[in-house]
Every structure is written in structure tokens, then in C-alpha cells.
Structure 1
Amino acid sequence: MVTAPALLTDARRARHIAEQVPDPELPMLTLADLGVLRDIEVTRDGTVVASLTPTYSGCPAMAEMRADVAARLRDAGYARVEIRTVLAPPWTSDWITPAGRRKLAEHGIAPPGAAPRRAAGPVPLVLSATRRSLACPRCRSTDTEETSRFAATSCKALWRCLACREPFEYVKEI
């Protein structure tokens, strides 16, 4: 059995290791930057339990995230590793850290604004297009247009800056 102080030290070390794992779809971000690494704990028998929340249900990158976190922890010497998927509360783009937002912009991807606030209950169906102003991550102009609602992943959209003429991706608010 592991003592309480040892558990705390192991949990801090394990968290530090897991926080360094890059996101497979946005490799400039770590899972901590993205906000999907929810918790790290060490049980009394020494098992490291990492909790991850997917950015949306059906996220194809979750299997790789789980495998990458488990591999990094095992490579660091943790023999028993368990990865849990936590669905509640659901992930929101508000969980992206300030450092994560800065890294997205530095890599030419427009970071999300604040996630929409809704009352509890059914999600309203909106059939009309919504027009938004989005700043280009390269030149900061707001003279931009959406070219595709979906990009390489469902959580991003494609935009174009009409000022500098450069295309860019945008991480959608969720």
C-alpha cells in the first residue's frame, strides 16, 4: 500500500507527464492546453488514473489521446495505468487555456470566442445562417468570410481573410 504523501507526489509527477501529451489533431497544443485532461489521481495500489473528456461525442482522436497518455505514463515507469473517459460535464471550448489560445493563433488558427451560454434543457434549433465577425490570425483584419463549415476535423471551420487573402482554420465554440 502506498502512503498518502507518496500518492500526492506520484500524482503531481503523473500529471506533469500527462500534461505534456500533444493533441493528435492540433499538435501545437497539449491535452492540458486543450482542456481535455481533466484529472490525474493515484490509487492506494499505485494505479495512475487519468481522466479525459472528449471535445465532442464521437471525437475520432479520443482513442489516440487515451493511448498516448497511457504510453507516456508507462514509459515514465508507472506499471498500472487506467484511462477514464469523463462525459459530464461536457467539454467546452472555454476550457482551452490562454496559452492554448495563443498557440492556436501563432499557428494561424483562429481560437474560439466564448462558448454560447444556454439555459438547461433542449438545445434550440437554428435554421438560419449566423453571421459573425472573426479576426484573421495573421493580419487581425475582421474582413473575413467562412468558406466551409467544416475543416479537417468537425470542430474546425475554414475561413478566408479578404484583406491579406490568406485562408485559415477556426476552432468553433462548443
Structure 2
Amino acid sequence: MQPGDLIASDLGARPAQPTDLAAAWAILSEVMDPEVPVVSVVDLGIVRDLDWQAGHLHVVVTPTYSGCPATEVIESDIREALELAGFKAPQLERKLTPAWTTDWISASGRERLRAYGIAPPEGSSSKRSLLGESPQVLCPQCGSAHTEVLSEFGSTACKALYRCVDCREPFDYFKCI
């Protein structure tokens, strides 16, 4: 909730237009994640739903994890992009359940991660690692499957640091969660 929401929540309220939701999805597909600026909040699956409520666009957002330090920045970027596009006072709802999972990353988002030099999550968010199973992580530079873990934590908590045994390049791996 933003300052003034309770007082002026109906400011700019209007009936939904047939193209509003498609336009909003298109706008949000251009809002990039601040930690990985080549993948949008839509491709990451952070934007869960859009609908029209009480004359305003209603946006459901699920952060990648409840303690993500970028959550407020992402929500601010979403709000700003929508307002600049003419959506008055969009209503954002932070929804923590069900929890975000890497399964929600789109195919194009995974490809953009790879092209950026981050190995996208392999497999699904199953708990295989609890059973001692490690994912086969391909090097985003050369495509080799001969990779090794250097650290369980990479540039952010949701990534691990790997190195390719063949090309010797270090890279982040977006962990399955």
C-alpha cells in the first residue's frame, strides 16, 4: 500500500477496456529484474496475475523468495511502468503462497539467462538435492556438461557459483527452488 491509497484509492478509477490486460502484460514484459536485467518480471514468473478490480488494474506479484532484497524495487518498477503507460493507481498485491518456483520461469526467460552467461535452472523444483542428487548444469559459455560447483552461493542467494572444466570459465547457476 502506498501513502494516500486509503484516501485516494478511487483516483483514476475507470471501467476496464477490452485491450487493458493485454497492454498491461506487454508493458510488464519490458520491466526487467534489477538483479538479472535481461529477463523480465513476466519471464521470471514474478507477475502471477492481472485483472481489473474496482476500476483499477490489479497485479498479483510473488517474489522469488520472501526475503528477496529486490522485492520493493521490483514492485516500484512495476507500478511506475504501468502508471507511465496510463494505468492510474495500479493496485499491487504481494502474494507469498504458493511460493515462487523456478518452474515458473518461461522458456524465453531461460534462454535469456543462458545468453547472459547464467545457467538456467535444470529440471524442476523437486527436492532431489535433499537425496544427494546434483543437477547436470551445462556451461552457458560452451555448452559443456563437465562443470563443477565452486560455491553453493553465487552473486545472489538464488544462484550457485560453478566453473566449466572444459573452458575453465566461472558462471552463476540459477538454483532450482
Q: TM-score, normalised by structure 1?
A: 0.86
* 1:136 and 2:136 aligned: no
Select which of 74, 90, 93 maps to 2:83.
Answer: 74
**8 Å contact kept, 2:60–2:95:** yes
Matched, 1:65 2:74: yes
Partner of 1:23: 33
Aligned-residue Cα RMSD (Å) equals 2.1
Deviation at 1:114, TM superposition (A): 2.1
The SS at the match of 2:110 is helix
> 1:116 deviation in Å?
3.4
% identical equivalent positions: 40
Segments of structure 2 that go 5 or more residues without pairing to the other structure are 1-12
For 1:82 and 1:24, how far apart are their aligned partners in 2?
Answer: 21
Inter-partner Cα distance in structure 2 for 1:138 and 1:54: 28
Runs of 4+ in structure 1 over 6 Å off: none
Q: What letter matches 1:30 in structure 2?
A: S
Give per-residue Cα distances to partners, 1:29-84, cap 9 Å, x unaligned. Answer: 00111111111122242x11111111111111110110000001111122221111
- Structure 1 runs not aligned, ≥5 long: 119-123
Aligned residue number for residue 168 of structure 2: 165
- 2:150 corresponds to: 147
Q: Which amino acid aligns with 2:110?
A: R
Paired residue for 1:121? none
On the 8 A contact 2:114/2:140 being kept in 1, the answer is yes
Are 2:12 and 1:12 aligned?
no
When residues 116 and 110 of structure 1 are mapped into structure 2, their CA distance, relative to the original with a 3 A threshold, is same
Maintained 8 Å contact 2:101/2:125 = no
Tell me, in whole angstroms, the C-alpha distance in 1 between the residues paired with 2:129 and 2:170: 29
Displacement of 1:115 in angstroms is 2.2
| Of 76-85 and 22-31, the range deviating more from structure 2 | 76-85
* Number of residues of Structure 1 aligned to a counterpart in Structure 2: 165
Q: 1:34 is paired with a residue of what secondary structure?
A: coil
Partner of 1:97: 106
Partner deviation per Cα, 1:95-135 (whole Å, 9 max, x = no partner): 110001111111111010122336xxxxx994x86544321
Asked if structure 1 preserves the Cα contact closer than 8 Å seen for 2:103 and 2:125, the reply is no
Following the alignment from structure 2 to structure 1, what is the Cα–Cα distance between the partners of residues 132 and 22?
A: 46
Question: Cα gap change, 1:3/1:77 in structure 2, threshold over 3 Å: closer, same or farther?
Answer: closer
